[in-house]
């Protein structure tokens, strides 16, 4: 079964659609859907585009990645089927331990966030990320989108949740090579800070070398958030090099009698 076929079946299952109902959405014959899911054939590119647009899924992800249920619930059309409580990530019991509370800005809410980020009612209605600790500074969580911070299976992946600490809008507060979420009036940028240009613009670097550096005028920035950590559902298998290093470390410890 191809990646495309698996994704179509996963989408259909999550949306509780029969093969016939799915076929009707895109003017397909029901046996065609079965053939896609079993890997006996693949949809035409026009059909793939229709599926991606209808379900709000990136065409690139639909074709190249075997999507998980968690991936699908990150997209708006799937998230609408969830009860609000299912979006809460609870790491500590608020009654038993002090917790940090961070409003969670999913990708589908980013446009609203640009306009309403200072409205208490809007922030209070966002899902909440809870982590153990004292609430001494403002924290917020953002759903990461795109692949600019991922390289060779390392780094931030599409759909990861970034846990962030608020900073003043002051470039002197930023540390080189640290990862920040930079918010403007219409953009949310996640990059490594490299420094300031002579013109006073932020030089922002992607971890993926296929992406060019960004120059972001400081006067357009409305918020700075330092990325303290992230939550991901993706578990990477160790590379052959990592496996060899692990075996070498184990052998050295045995030789040293540890």
pLDDT of residue 84: 45
Predicted pLDDT at 176? 93
Cβ proximity of 228 and 164 under 8 Å:
yes
**pLDDT at residue 95 in the model:** 46
Beta bridge partners of 217: 201
Whether the model clears a pTM of 0.95, i.e. scores above it, the answer is: no
**What would the pLDDT profile of 55-114 be if each residue is shown by its tens digit?**
877 787 888 888 876 666 555 444 444 444 444 444 343 345 566 778 999 999 999 999
Res 85: pLDDT: 46
Residue from 222, 220, 227, 165 nearest 193 by CA: 227
| Chain segment 9-64, per-residue pLDDT in tens | 988 888 888 899 899 989 999 999 999 999 889 899 889 988 888 887 778 788 88
**Minimum mean pLDDT range among 115-129, 133-147, 201-215:** 133-147
pLDDT tens for each residue of 196-226: 998 889 999 999 988 999 999 999 999 999 9
Burial 223-258 (b: 16+ CB within 10 A, else e): bbbbbeebeeeeeeeeeeeeeeeeeeeeeeeeeeee
Q: Tell me the per-residue pLDDT of 170-196, one tens digit each, with 9 for 90 and over.
A: 888 899 999 999 999 999 999 999 999
Query: Given this model, what pLDDT does residue 15 score?
Result: 80
Per-residue pLDDT, 237: 57
* Helix, strand, or coil (residue 41): coil
Note the pLDDT of residue 76. 46
Contact present, 104 and 86 (Cβ < 8 Å): no
**pLDDT > 70: what percent of the chain?**
80
**Phi, psi angles (nearest 5°) of residue 156:** -85, 130
Mean pLDDT rounded to a whole number for the chain: 81
């Amino acid at each position: 079964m191809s990646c495309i076929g698996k994704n179509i079946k996963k989408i259909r299952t999550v949306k509780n659609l029969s093969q016939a109902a799915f076929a009707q959405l895109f003017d397909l014959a029901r046996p065609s859907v079965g053939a896609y899911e079993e890997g006996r054939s693949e949809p035409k590119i026009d059909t793939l585009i229709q599926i991606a647009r209808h379900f709000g899924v990136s065409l690139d992800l639909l074709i190249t990645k075997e999507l998980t249920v968690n991936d699908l619930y990150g997209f708006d059309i799937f998230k609408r089927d969830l009860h609000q409580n299912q979006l809460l990530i609870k790491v500590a019991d608020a009654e038993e331990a002090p917790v940090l509370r961070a409003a969670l800005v999913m990708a589908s809410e980013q446009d609203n966030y640009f306009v309403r980020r200072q409205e208490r009612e809007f922030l209070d209605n966002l899902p909440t990320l809870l982590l153990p600790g004292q609430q001494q500074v403002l924290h917020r969580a953002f759903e990461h989108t795109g692949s600019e911070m991922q390289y060779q299976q390392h780094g931030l992946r599409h759909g990861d949740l970034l846990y962030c600490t608020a900073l003043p809008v002051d470039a002197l507060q930023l540390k080189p090579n640290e990862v920040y979420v930079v918010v403007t009036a219409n953009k949310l940028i996640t990059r490594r800070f490299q420094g300031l240009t002579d013109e006073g613009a932020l030089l922002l670097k992607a971890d993926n070398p296929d992406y060019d550096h960004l120059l972001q005028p400081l006067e357009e920035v409305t918020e700075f958030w330092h990325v303290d950590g992230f939550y991901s559902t993706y578990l990477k298998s160790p590379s052959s090099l990592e496996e060899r290093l692990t075996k070498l470390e184990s052998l050295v410890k045995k030789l040293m009698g540890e």
